[in-house]
Structure 1
Amino acid sequence: MNELPQKTVSIQKVLGELEQSSLAEIRELATVAAAQDGNPPLSDQTLVALGSEDSGENVITLQAYSGEGTDAQLSGVIVAIDDPISQRWVVELVVHPDFRNHGIGRQLLEKLGEQLDLSQILTWAHGDHEAARKLAASVGLARVRELYRMRREGTDSLEETPLQRGLSLRTFRVGEDEAAWLEANAKSFADHPEQGSLTYADLDARMNENWFDPSGFFLAFDQDHQLIAFHWTKIHQATADQSRPMGEVYVVGVVPEAQGLGLGRALTTVGINYLLEQGVGSVLLYVDAENEAAVKLYRSLGFTLWSADIMYGPEPIN
């Protein structure tokens, strides 16, 4: 589809934490875009950062408004977060479906280019869209990472694998398990930059989301009562074109010393069956395309490739 003539927009810049009214606008835009595209355009970590009083100058938000005065509508958003692990700015961009093909995404990207060197950023495209490929190529970025979005359809439960002798399973206890979970999460995802670096503030922000339910957050302990594995599930409310809500295998982790005990499969199965008991019609998950062992496990549990999120960044130097 050819791009229509650009519309003049006003672009507002905010550093750090957003006012609640602005954050609510962005969440609503993201919800509308997700309903249109089938993919959430902004990650949970981005939404947490936008609402965090600790963000400071590490978060840049540019909001595009179309229209005049009180009729102006939020038509697009670009968010850049200074990531201390990759030592690059990580960027996400979303344009309201009603305002696409008018150059708003390009205007936001160009405006961000006045603040940052766009050739050195990392940016997520949630869904392998042609428009995202073109924007990335325009600033010299290449595909550097692929995150599979897999989905399991239907309501058939799975046969659960018993835990090995001496291991126990229970659900998360708010006010008791936070520190142990953060430690186990950091160990489990030591090589995963986003997940492995979660802080107490990140966890607390997620526990304050409307979707959080500790009864869907499963923890496995060894005989010394040490947390060694977990499966955190999530339920997405049904949209207008869905008859049932959708479940998500949100995070599955196993600490290194407990690898090989079958805990990944066992806890994934427990979580999926819990989601089905809650009435979901399908279950989704995200997994790095290069994680062949995890992809194989999820395929064996009935998941198939649905779509992919693509990270663009500087061309790797061989």
Structure 2
Amino acid sequence: MLEPDLLPADVLAHVEEVSRAAEAADGAAPLDEATWLALRHRPAADIGWWRADEAFALLVDDELSVVVAPAARRRGLGSTLLAEVAEVTEGERLTAWSHGDHPGAAVLADRFGFARVRELWVMRRDASVPLPEVVVPDGVAISGFDENAERDAADVLAVNAAAFAHHPEQGALDADGLAVRRHEPWWDPAGLLLARDTATGELLGFHWTKVHPVGDDGVLRGEVYVVGIAPAAQGRGLGGVLTLAGLHHLHGRGLGEVLLYVESDNAPAVAVYSRLGFAHAAADTHVQYARG
């Protein structure tokens, strides 16, 4: 089978260079994980891209990204790129994230008819703060993901689909998406914790953790990547138990900080994370805009 034609190496290098400069200046990565995976694994024909000196625009499905290097800002590059995208997508629905709620993004959004529709919070916890002990309910066993058990992958996908049926990104995870992530450098089967019913073997929920590369500030960070609870098992406190179990796993990796992403209007989840010592700062707000 022929491999698909991916984005040209020079385009990917340009995206990486501009993104690194933007992240260093803004304190937030301008592209999310899903976009990076698409750039590295999906055919070039699936991706729209526009390039300018020290700037670029990308279109993956209906998600638009426009990034301008700090040294080239206030020259109209963002407006020029957005105008080019608007010309070829007239009438189509588009979404775009502003990672870090950048004021320049708000100006461009208003100019090109994008409305603010979602807020995603980053919450952080200092890993030096002690954790409470994990108390696993009777009839529940927690273990790591078994690479050799086909059932584990199938069960994670089934619970994920049910738990995030109305979530536009996480609910779309399929076997291919899971396989791609299992080949990422950060993949650790021991960090994907599964809670099963000891009597039936049914998967009740999971906590997928992630360890990031050491940042420019020298801090090693972990992430509460995904916590999913099967609908039939909700209301039993398993979300808190699995979150805490995953935090103990991450702390064992010698981290400086643990972070997570949560919808700003998900009050039950925010409450659970706040009780575990996570806090949100206004600068750690990602905003999604939509057109159409």
Regarding TM over 0.5, the answer is: yes
Which residue in 1 is equivalent to 2:180?
A: 205
| Correspondence for 1:12 | none
Q: Counterparts of 1:1-318 in structure 2 under 5 Å?
A: 17-20=6-9, 22-53=11-42, 56-57=45-46, 59-64=47-52, 66=53, 75-82=54-61, 89-117=62-90, 120-176=93-149, 177-223=152-198, 224-242=200-218, 244-306=219-281, 307-314=284-291
Tell me the distance in 2 between the aligned counterparts of 1:27 and 1:272. 31
How many pairs were matched up?
Answer: 284
Q: Retained in 1: the 8 A contact 2:141–2:197?
A: yes
- Identity level (%): 39
Cα pair distance change 1:46/1:254, threshold 3 Å = same
Distance in 2 between residues matched to 1:22 and 1:211, nearest whole Å: 24
Structure number with the bigger relative contact order (C-alpha 8 A, sep ≥ 6) is: 2
For 1:35 and 1:215, locate their aligned partners in 2 and report how far apart those are by CA, in whole Å. 31
State the alpha-carbon separation in 2 of the partners of residues 275 and 36 from structure 1.
28
TM-score of the superposed pair, with normalisation by structure 2: 0.89
Code of the aligned partner of 2:251: L
Aligned-pair Cα RMSD in Å: 2.2
Q: Which runs of 5+ in 1 are unaligned?
A: 1-15, 67-74, 83-88
Q: Give, as a single letter, the amino acid of the residue that structure 2 aligns with 1:104.
A: L
User: Is the CA contact (8 Å cut-off) linking 1:122 and 1:312 kept in structure 2?
Assistant: yes
Deviates more, 1:280-289 or 1:92-101: 92-101
For 1:46, the aligned partner's letter is T
**Contact preservation (8 Å) 2:7, 2:44:** no
TM (norm. structure 1) is 0.82
Q: Gaps spanning 5+ residues in structure 2: where?
A: none
- 1:226-280 per-residue CA deviation (whole Å, 9 max, x = no partner) reads 22211111112222323x2111111111010110121111111111122122111
2:194 and 2:16 map into 1 onto residues whose CA distance is: 30
Q: Which moved more, 1:280-289 or 1:156-165?
A: 156-165
1:148-183 CA distance string (max 9 Å, x none): 111112412311332221211111122532222111
Runs of 4+ in 1 over 6 A off after TM superposition: none
**Which whole-Å CA distance do the structure 1 matches of 2:275 and 2:12 have between them?**
39
Q: 3-state SS of the aligned residue for 1:114?
A: helix
C-alpha distance in structure 1 between counterparts of 2:77 and 2:137, whole Å: 55
Question: Secondary structure of 1:234's partner?
Answer: strand
Alpha carbons 2:208, 2:246 under 8 Å: kept: yes
